[in-house]
């Protein structure tokens, strides 16, 4: 980021040559960028998410006008805010026309899109963003080389989107594994290798500003460091160290985590252009009677309290997805897009408004209302029964869970399970749990665990909501089991 203005000799203030702001969304581990030219007061926003007010406010804070909006590629992990921001600010919308047309943008013609291809440029007075087509993560993917033409026009940095991260590169398997485009991931991996060879010819001092950090599912080993240089990545990023294309293809496809189920829907929404949200009203507060009615009709009610509170007392039929940094990921993976949704949460802290924005950010727009956290006491006081999820200790699990016929369910990913798991456990990854309920016996006690507890708590609540009568939680998870020295199986 650009720091405070400096004083030139003679006491005159010297304006910054470029205004650069990184706007990071922790729940998505996603970075957007606003770049402005002080001379023209024009700005471009790259890779905006759907919370567009933050970009408009940042531009106002810097006395800039957003005149251009663009993105590096068709995103899979969040709904793009590019169309909405361009409409609200009156800016030109720039999108990639590079790559395979089958997987390209299909925006309405009346959106007036300015199409970009390799070598195109977005100009903001003396600041220029030059387009570099770098397919691999997606066929249409672009990087933007940022230059100050008064400094000779050489690029000072690159907005790399999901092409090059700090320590990793974007996964090339999403079209095949998330969108079910069979036979595309090896070709994409080879394209990614070729893009890296083209990119590595640029100057080592080039700063790299990626679109994601640690916590994103768009790669497998992303660093939490917000930026790097090309020279540093050439030395320490594994992908630049593989000289053979066939070996690179094997390495980049190995060990990629399962993509969240909602990625396919994000691709579809962003390919055709997201609906405009506009100024929507906040979800209305609902009554105890409405809660009883929604649950009786099989509606979806998400309790956003912490797992410990939910486990001690919760309303039967509700699902626990805590309002933490993982809320967006698990909401997108577990909640339906074609039904009304209701939340249970603290309405005194602005939480409901934040969660509404989070849900809209991944396309879950059917939020019909919310119930305050105090609804739990109201439910109890109305002589309705509450449920609880008993916790099982590591010693109890080791001593006697098989004696009563309990089934241990491991909701970690398949890759985690293969490298070590409890003997005899059943692996049902949390993101797939709702689709694989037929594999779970309904007449046996169930003990749910993950690595350290959070995923298991969500999974246990889901099983209770689906009518399994005896569900327990092993909160210590596989980490505690292994630390205690108990037997571990490897697949």
219 or 337, greater pLDDT: 337
pLDDT of residue 401: 61
Quickly state the pLDDT bin for 110 (edges 50, 70, 90): confident
pLDDT of residue 220: 83
Catalytic residue of the set 37, 114, 218, 450: 450
Same domain, yes or no, for 11 and 133? yes
**Residue 89 located in a structural domain:** yes
Q: What is the CATH number of the domain that holds 441?
A: 3.40.250.10
* pLDDT tens-digit series, residues 55-70: 999 999 999 999 999 9
- Whether the per-residue pLDDT at 419 is higher than 80: the answer is yes
Domain count, the chain: 3
Quickly state the pLDDT bin for 175 (edges 50, 70, 90): very high
Q: Provide the edge-to-edge strand list for the sheet that holds 155-161.
A: 121-124, 127-133, 142-148, 155-161, 207-210, 228-229
**Residue 282 located in a structural domain:** no
Same domain, yes or no, for 436 and 306? no
The answer to whether 157 touches 232, Cβ cutoff 8 Å, is no
Question: Cβ neighbours of residue 237 under 8 Å, at least 6 residues apart?
Answer: 164, 166, 167, 168, 169
Domain-ending residue, one of 272, 296, 311: 272
- Whether the per-residue pLDDT at 136 is higher than 80: the answer is yes
pLDDT of residue 2: 38
12 or 219, greater pLDDT: 219
- Domain range for 417: 394-483
Same domain, yes or no, for 182 and 52? yes
pLDDT of residue 150: 81
**Residue 406 located in a structural domain:** yes
Domain-ending residue, one of 324, 348, 381: 381
pTM (two decimals) = 0.91
The percent of residues above 90 in pLDDT, for the chain, comes to: 84
**Residue 209 located in a structural domain:** yes
- Whether the per-residue pLDDT at 96 is higher than 60: the answer is yes
Please confirm, yes or no, whether 114 is among the known catalytic residues: no
Distance from C-alpha of 91 to C-alpha of 105, rounded to nearest angstrom: 19
pLDDT of residue 153: 79
Same domain, yes or no, for 162 and 306? no
Quickly state the pLDDT bin for 402 (edges 50, 70, 90): low
pLDDT of residue 14: 57
The answer to whether 383 touches 410, Cβ cutoff 8 Å, is no
* pLDDT tens-digit series, residues 258-279: 888 899 999 999 999 999 998 7
* pLDDT tens-digit series, residues 12-36: 445 667 999 999 999 999 999 999 9
pLDDT of residue 12: 46
Distances (CA, A) of 111 to 43, 115, 269, 323, 393: 20, 11, 15, 35, 58
Mean pLDDT of the residues in the chain:
93
- Whether the per-residue pLDDT at 394 is higher than 70: the answer is yes
């Amino acid at each position: 980021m650009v720091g405070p203005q400096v004083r030139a000799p003679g006491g005159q203030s010297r304006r910054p040559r470029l205004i650069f702001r990184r706007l990071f969304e922790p729940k998505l581990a996603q970075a957007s960028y606003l770049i402005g030219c002080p001379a023209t007061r024009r700005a471009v926003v790259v890779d905006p998410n759907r919370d567009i007010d933050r970009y408009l406010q940042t531009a106002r804070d810097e006395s800039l006008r957003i005149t251009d909006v663009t993105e590096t590629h068709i995103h899979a992990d969040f709904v793009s805010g590019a169309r909405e921001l361009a409409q609200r600010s009156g800016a030109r919308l720039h999108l990639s026309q590079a790559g395979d047309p089958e997987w390209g943008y299909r925006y309405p013609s009346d959106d007036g899109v300015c199409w970009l291809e390799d070598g195109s440029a977005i100009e903001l007075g003396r600041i220029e963003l030059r387009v570099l087509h770098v397919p691999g993560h997606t066929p249409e993917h672009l990087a933007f080389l940022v230059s100050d033409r008064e400094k000779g026009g050489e690029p000072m940095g690159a907005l790399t989107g999901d092409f090059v991260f700090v320590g990793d590169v974007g996964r090339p398997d999403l079209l095949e594994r998330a969108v079910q485009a069979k036979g595309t991931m090896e070709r994409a991996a080879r394209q990614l290798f070729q893009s890296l060879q083209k990119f590595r010819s640029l100057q080592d001092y080039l700063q790299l500003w990626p679109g994601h950090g640690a916590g994103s599912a768009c790669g497998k080993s992303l660093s939490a460091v917000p930026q790097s240089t090309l020279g540093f990545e050439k030395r320490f990023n594994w992908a630049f160290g593989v000289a053979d294309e066939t070996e690179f293809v094997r390495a980049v496809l190995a060990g990629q985590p399962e993509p969240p189920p909602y990625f396919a829907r994000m691709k579809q929404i962003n390919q055709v252009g997201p609906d405009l949200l506009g100024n929507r009203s906040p979800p209305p507060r609902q009554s105890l009677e409405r809660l009883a009615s929604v649950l009786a009709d099989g509606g979806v009610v998400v309790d956003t309290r912490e797992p410990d509170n939910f486990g001690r007392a919760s309303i039967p039929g509700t699902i626990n997805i805590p309002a933490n940094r993982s809320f967006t990921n698990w909401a997108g993976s577990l909640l339906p897009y074609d039904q009304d949704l209701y939340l249970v949460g603290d309405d005194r802290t602005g939480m409901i408004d934040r969660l509404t924005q989070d849900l809209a950010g991944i396309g879950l727009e059917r939020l019909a209302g919310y119930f305050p956290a105090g609804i739990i006491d109201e439910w109890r006081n109305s002589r309705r029964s509450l449920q609880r999820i008993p916790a099982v200790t590591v010693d109890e699990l080791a001593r006697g869970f098989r004696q009563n016929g309990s089934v241990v369910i491991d909701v970690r990913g398949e890759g985690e399970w293969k490298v070590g798991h409890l003997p005899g456990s059943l692996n049902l990854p949390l993101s797939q749990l709702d689709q694989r309920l037929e594999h779970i016996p309904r007449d046996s006690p169930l003990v749910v665990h993950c690595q350290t507890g959070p995923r298991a708590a969500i999974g246990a609540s889901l099983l209770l909501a689906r009518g399994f009568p005896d569900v327990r939680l092993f909160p210590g998870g596989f980490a505690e089991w292994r630390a205690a020295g108990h037997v571990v199986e490897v697949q």
